[in-house]
Amino acid sequence: MPKTVFDPADPLSLDALLSTEEIAVRETVRTMLDKRVQPHIAQWFEDGGVEEPRELFKEFGKLGLLGMHLDGYGLPGMSSVEYGLACVELEACDSGIRSMVSVQGSLAMYAIWKFGNEETKRRWLPGMGTGELVGCFGLTEPDHGSDPGSMRTRAKRDGDDWILDGSKMWISNGTFADVAVVWAQTDDGIRGFAVPTDTPGFSAKLIHHKLSLRASATAELVLEGVRLPAESMFPDVKGLRGPLSCLTEARYGIVWGSMGAARSSFESALEYSKTREQFGRPIGGFQLTQEKLANMCLELHKGLLLALHLGRRKDEVGLTPEQVSFGKLNNVREALDICRNARTILGANGISLEYPVIRHMNNLESVLTYEGTTEMHTLVIGQALTGENAFGGR
């Protein structure tokens, strides 16, 4: 019987639960990011360098990262676990980089793949898979975030066409997208549309002065009399079921990705604790520091185990929205706590971009509230447990 050895990098031996192919996917993504993104990401964050990452889409496409868990139309058709492992590596680099990939594949591409007509799928999906085309996803509005059913963006029939008016806020990839998936109120309920961004009346305004997700482009989309042909509308989905199913798909990636930010921060704190000396010894030799590191390690690997379990279930039988809320609520909350504790171990160096911790911590403040706030996911689980709807007052 082989001797069991404790590995600080894999304390629960989770790699033993992965296939050779899954590990290869993880290592391929990590290698590419180490070479192409890691040397620049702190500067992109500091500069708010939103244009440089745009060039990454074609490289991500060559690697099969865009819509990697979707099949047909030239898409990779890989497993949910493989996609999750890629999300860990992407967010270990930066949450903004993972968001670029998630919005492309799990929101824009998934919406078109799941709900678009055949013409729409063939028009957009192959190019989006290679990164030649970029997509964004317009649901959130300036006054409607957690309550998307109250959206004000409106689509009206005009002969065979649709006319869209309204605005969407906090839209990743929005300034350089080729197609925007936009959800709008109609006389027949909420409907989804694939909107070419070169359509007259469509504009995207870059949001400035962010202190989070600075390495990715975030936009306000404005639609003023945007005229679309009838086939631009998704024909077979109506109401919030469409956009919420897309959000469930994207939230699954966050369950994994948030653990990447946590891992990067934990590893940085662990290494720092071994080399930083105070009172004549490394700070890793002090009990309070070891308590922080032990608790961080516990939550990191419990979160990875939860993500892997959900990934296996998704591949085998699928997930309920409540299960995805379970993962998003726990893992993002714990990842943010890990980053905050890592910052205290690094002391003043913890606020420097020479280390990744403050960048991850700031990014996770956005991840905590986008695609469902902590409160919303708490109420999803609460309703599932009690059978009582505690959302809003209606």
Whether 94 and 363 have beta carbons less than 8 Å apart is answered as: yes
Q: Which amino acid is at 231?
A: E
> Do residues 247 and 254 lie in contact, with contact meaning Cβ atoms separated by under 8 Å?
no
**Type of residue found at 288:** L
CA 73, CA 25: separation in Å to the nearest integer? 21
Under 8 Å CB-to-CB from 121, ≥6 apart: which residues? 73, 112, 113
- Could you give phi then psi for residue 135, rounded to 5 degrees? -120, 160
Element (H, E) at 165: strand 161-172
Half-sphere exposure of 134 (CA within 13 A, CB side): 22
**Active-site residue among 22, 371, 375, 388?**
371
Catalytic-residue membership of 371: yes
Q: Report how far residue 257's alpha carbon sits from residue 263's, in angstroms, rounded to the nearest whole number.
A: 10
Closest CA to 195 of 183, 211, 186: 183
Active site residues: 371
